[in-house]
Structure 1
Amino acid sequence: MAHRHLGTAVGAVLATDALFHVYWTTGATWPAPDPRTLSYAVLGAVDVPFTPRTLLPLIAVLALAAGCVFARSRDRGGPVTRWGTLLVATGLLVRGALGLAWSLGLGVGAPFYGINLFLYTPLCLAAGLAAFAVAGVPRWAAAVPAVPLLLVAALLWGAYGWAPAEHREYRAPAGSQFVDTPLARFHYERAGSGPAVVLLSPGAAWTYAWRPQLEALRAGHTVYVVDLPGQGFTELRDRGLTWDLDGMTRAVGSFLDAVGLDRVALVGNSWSGGWALRYAQLHPDRVGSLVLLAPSGLADKDPRTWELMKYPVLGELLTNAGAADRETTAPGVRALFAHPELATDEVVDAMWAPNTFADNRAATYRLERGLDWRVTQDAMPGTSTPTLVLWGDRDTVLPVGRAARFGALLPHAEVHVLDACGHALTLDCAGRVSALMADFLRDH
């Protein structure tokens, strides 16, 4: 009789969850105000669209699990429902184990913390134990849930318990400068004289990536190359910084204020292209012109590995694994180049070593989870800043087809697609990029 009650309770929980998903297929987002908040609340920092294509498979799994547990509690279905219920129990316990880790503040942000701690985790653990009792499997089968739980423990250790070595012997280059602000101690390089041009280090990179442009532009401009928080040798001071567009544009403004720049030409590559674009959208009075190299900014999916970083545990694990081993990073760096001979050992070291720093590792997956490019895309038609957009036709990160979309959405954009160039435009096609930038900045 006890098993009948337990089976009814577990089945009801799973069926109720399925009904919520059915409700969301209508486009409703209650109890959340919008789809993104709903995605965060249900999945924790993962921007998954709540559409029928996503929801219907989940509904089917939840309904099948509910029926399986309910039938097993009534001694129906024989071995099928017995082992099916054990599988349901194992899945619930694994989710509960992950929830315990997240309840310690590991891997997800504050908006997810309360609902995970007070609803998801205790419910999954209780339902998992109840389903295990309902399964009524032989005593030896009690070890079955231990296998995935041990796997989860190993993943959690790899994500949160293990810290790869920081290669602090790799230091900021001679000639580097630092400026202290309440937000961060910014690392930057400065050269030349004339109108100010600020180059924002590409995402997951540092000022090294702009060396050719720093030298090429210094004859006619005062060129600043800066690492924003989470990049290179900049040290974060304000731990309340949000890892999203608001946080990164706040960092841009903080640096400009600290070095006394009122109006600049702003330049970015990849992630930092999106940050530069958003800063210009918010502060058009401070940005006279924009140069965007293979920029983020469109509400499209990232490459699969980066999309996986949006998931708690996986993001931390992938970041740690990449930081732990230079040889793991090297192929990814070389894939950014259409001319692989330019991805020298020096370049690989430059792209790898600073990303072993703990704050930079954490910033990588936090930014992937927090950046919402729908904001920049929606604001593009109203962006008044003259803009140069450059893209390589062999870009393996952000497809070159996006260049035309930037040109269509930005009313004052000049777009060039460069033959035989990859995503790392500043180093892969340094001469052509520098010449196009110099011509555009001279005219604007």
Structure 2
Amino acid sequence: MELTYDSTSRMVATRRWTIHINEAGPADAPPVILLHGSGPGATGWSNFSNNIPVLAEHYRVIAADMPGWGESDPVSWSERDHPGAVADLMDALELDKASLIGNSMGGGTTIRFGYEHPDRVHKLITMGSSHGGPALFGAGGLTEGLKILQKGYREPTFDTMKQLVDVMTFDSAFATDELIQARADMVAAHPQHNENFLAGVGKRAIVELDHAKVPGITAPTLLFHGRDDRVVHFENSLRLVQLIPDARLVLINRCGHWLQIEHADEFNRLVLEFLANA
């Protein structure tokens, strides 16, 4: 049976929030939690629809909408606690341990969860994640991609969403009208998410990392980054692979911020190999 958004969609009541997930794969298989990025209209499904069917052949895949995104509960900026939301979701699903895969903001959550809850992670995988420290080669302020991302919250039109999807990729062919419209529709359906995001811009990072704690991560970690990422410079993953003791990095040329979309086949293959190895 073909997996669709509707066929995999359900709501999960957790300790603090109701969280929307797309779930697929055998219920008794090892769990893998997918965490999306921070852009307007982002959801677990929009970030990982090219990966879920492949991963679900071997794992129980749970693509979560973080509180403040998608169909999950709205939250104010001060209430955001993404690692805590993941822990709450795991508790509600009765999962003692899981592997985490996070893109961008979701990568930050993955890294932070790795050092805050080391006993609850099997393996960690990130794509286009920040390392939490100061930039050496990348932009000192907002990157081109982050500027357009914030514009997408202020002006969530189809044209702005097109700019956003385009800057997230190296090849504009991946900026399909279907993907653009899906994100625009999700923004329109949940205006409170936009309002809450804009109210917090400039206050602090959505997921703050303690740079000094990152080297304490003990879980095997696989880092991906696009060489042409215009949102988060690839130097971030170079720094992470230096900081995390049991880490390895895949740097892909002709690739933007959405590596799991632009290079889905290679990403899926490497992720399955990494998760399968002891």
Structure-1-length-normalised TM-score: 0.55
Q: State which of 322, 327, 339 in structure 1 corresponds to 2:171.
A: 339
Q: Which digits, 9 at most, give the CA deviation of each residue in 1:396-437, with x for residues without a partner?
A: 111122221111111111111012111011211111111111
* Matched letter for residue 388 of structure 1: L
Distance 2:146 2:174 in 1: 27
Deviations 1:127-147 (Å, cap 9, x if unpaired)?
Answer: xxxxxxxxxxxxxxxxxxxxx
Q: Say if 1:302 and 1:398, in contact at 8 Å, map to a contact too.
A: no
More helix as a share of residues: 1
> Would you say 1:178 and 2:11 are equivalent positions?
yes
Distance in 2, matches of 1:337 and 1:427, equals: 9
Distance 2:19 2:208 in 1: 28
* Corresponding letter in the other structure for 1:242: S
Partner residue, 1:212: 50
% identity of equivalent residues: 25
8 Å Cα contact 1:333-1:351 kept in structure 2 = no
Shift of 1:359: 2.7
Q: Could you list the per-position Cα deviations for residues 218-250 of structure 1 after superposition, in whole angstroms to 9, with x for gaps in the alignment?
A: 1111111110111111123xx577355xx1111
Maintained 8 Å contact 2:227/2:256:
yes
Asked whether the 8 Å contact 1:298–1:373 carries over to 2, the reply is: no
User: Aligned residue for 2:33?
Assistant: 198
Distance 1:306 1:335 in 2: 6
Question: 1:226 — aligned with what?
Answer: 64
Against the structure 1 CA distance between its residues 321 and 363, is the aligned structure 2 distance closer, same or farther, given a 3 Å change threshold?
closer
1:355 to 179, 187, 190: 187
Q: Does the 8 Å contact 2:18/2:72 carry over to 1?
A: yes
8 Å contact from structure 1 (residues 336, 395) kept in 2: yes
8 Å contact from structure 1 (residues 296, 373) kept in 2: no
Partner of 1:303: 142
Q: Are the counterparts in 2 of residues 297 and 376 from structure 1 also a CA contact under 8 Å?
A: no
Alignment of 1:34-183 (within 5 A): 173-183=6-16
C-alpha distance in 2 between matches for 1:320 and 1:353: 13
Q: Residues of 1 paired with 2:244 and 2:252: CA distance?
A: 19
Preserved contact between residue 289 and residue 385 of structure 1 (Cα < 8 Å): yes
Q: Aligned partners of 2:258 and 2:67: how far apart in 1?
A: 20
Distance in 1 (alpha carbons) for counterparts of 2:196 and 2:97: 28
Q: Aligned match of 1:235 in 73, 78, 81?
A: 73
Tell me which amino acid in the other structure corresponds to 1:286: R
* CA offsets 1:102-138 (integer angstroms, 9 cap, x no match): xxxxxxxxxxxxxxxxxxxxxxxxxxxxxxxxxxxxx
Query: Larger relative contact order (C-alpha < 8 A, sep ≥ 6)?
Result: 2
The answer for unaligned runs of 5 or more in structure 1 is 1-171, 310-314
Aligned length: 261
CA distance in 2, matches of 1:347, 1:240: 27
Normalising by the residue count of structure 2, what TM-score does the alignment of the two structures yield?
0.85
* Structure 1 CA distance for aligned equivalents of residues 77 and 162 of structure 2: 30
State yes or no: 1:263 paired with 2:92: no
Determine whether 1:287 maps to 2:121: yes
Contact 1:299 1:373 in 2 (8 A): no
- SS of the aligned residue for 1:296 comes to coil
Equivalent AA in structure 2 for residue 215 of structure 1:
P
Matched residue, 1:433: 267
Conserved 8 A contact 2:24-2:61? yes
Distance 1:385 1:367 in 2: 32
Which residue in 1 is equivalent to 2:247?
413
CA distance in 1, matches of 2:121, 2:141: 27
1:254 maps to which of 88, 92, 102: 88
Whose Rg is larger? 1
Q: Point out where structure 2 has 5 or more consecutive residues left out of the alignment.
A: 135-139
Partner Cα distance (2:240, 2:101) in 1: 15
Deviations 1:367-423 (Å, cap 9, x if unpaired)? 763327763322111111110000011111111222211111111111110121110
Displacement after TM superposition at 1:201 (Å): 1.8
CA distance in 1, matches of 2:201, 2:82: 9
